[in-house]
Amino acid sequence: MTNSREFDVVVIGSGAGGGAAAWALAGGGASVLVLEAGPEYDPQRDYRLHLAAWENGGLPDRSQQKRPYTFGPLQDLEPRWKDLRSWNHIGGNMNPTDGRVGYQYSHVRGVGGTTLHYTGSAHRLHPQTMNMRTRFGVAADWPLSYAELDRITARPSV
């Protein structure tokens, strides 16, 4: 398909970030194109809220293309960093082995992205992850400590 139309901004993905960015940019007068990997979902057909056990079914995967998740070689986990591993209060450690495990990120390919199916995953920073560059030579250090961030976010609004 050939389209000679030009856009000020191209947004990849229509999830929470992409959708909000596209909306704000378009509201500000920009010509925006949103590219999405999956189809549109029909709430009446796809959410099945009329069924008693609707929460158990999940959102159907209507993607035309099934692309597998792939991961590069994953290194061993050092025992001294065991306290940084992902866990939950119901099942304990998500990875009980001594090696890294590649998990498929639970998301929806479709218009709306992950906003279509919230899985209750809310990642929180660990205090020791604020200086990854200093400690491990990867990523970047935050410009403030966890305690400073906590102090800033805990401040009552005026």
Question: Where do the structural domains in the chain lie, given as residue ranges?
Answer: 9-69+104-123, 124-158
Of residues 27 and 152, the one with the higher pLDDT is 27
- Model pTM score: 0.52
Q: How confident is the model at residue 50 (pLDDT cuts 50, 70, 90)?
A: confident
Residue range 47-61: average pLDDT? 75
Q: Strand pairing partners for 9?
A: 32
Closest by CA to 110, choosing from 43, 25, 10, 23, is 43
| C-alpha 88 chain-centroid distance | 18
Interatomic CA distance for residues 60 and 45, integer angstroms: 10
